[in-house]
Structures are given as structure tokens and as C-alpha cells.
Amino acid sequence: MILKESSLYTELPLGQHNLQLRLQRKHQLRLQRKHQLRLQRKHQLRLQCKHQLRLQRKHQLRLQRKHQLRLRLRNHQRVTQTCSQMLLLECGGDYFSSRMDCTRFLDPQR
């Protein structure tokens, strides 16, 4: 029987050295695969989180724009209604005959 003198192969027959090497290699490959999968999952999660945040930001901006438009429209309607009421009072009911500017009623300093 041939024995190999090394700290790694302490007095094992050659066939068992090969078996031990194969098992170590197999174990090493399994660990590498496990580590690689962990890194891939971590990367995938990071991408999903970034994507989710981007979607949330986009949705939030859309809601803000919608809200701003609603406020502007409401304000415009209020201003228009106020102007038309003032013009009706001033012109005796003939809204279209007046060439008065609505802004004068809303801002008297003008």
C-alpha cells in the first residue's frame, strides 16, 4: 500500500485520498453554489426594492399632480363664479355687454 506523507493526507491509502479529495471538492462546490445563490437572491431583492420604490414615487407624484389640478380647477371655478356674479351685479344682468376685467373685482388695487 502506498502512503502519501502530507499534513492533509495523514496516513491514508491512496484510494481513500482520492475519495477524500472528491468529497472536499464536492463540499467546496456546494458552498460556492450556495454563496452564489445567496448573492443572486440579495441582488434580486435589491432590484425589486428599487423598482418598488420607483413605482411608489411615480404613483405619489401622479397623486400630487392630480390633487394640484383639482385645486386649480376648483379655484378657477370659484374665481369665474365670483367674477360672473360681480359682473351681473355691476352690469344689471347683462353679462356679455360688459368689457370689464374680472381681476379688478378680485384685486381692487389694480
Please list the pLDDT of the chain residue by residue as tens digits (110 residues).
444 444 455 566 666 778 888 899 999 999 999 999 999 999 999 999 999 999 999 999 999 999 999 999 999 888 888 877 777 776 655 544 444 555 555 555 65
Backbone torsions φ then ψ of 16, nearest 5 degrees: -75, -30
Long-range contacts of 41-45 (CB under 8 A, 24+ apart): none
* Distance of alpha carbon 23 from alpha carbon 19, whole angstroms: 6
The domains of the chain are located at 14-106
Full-model pTM: 0.45
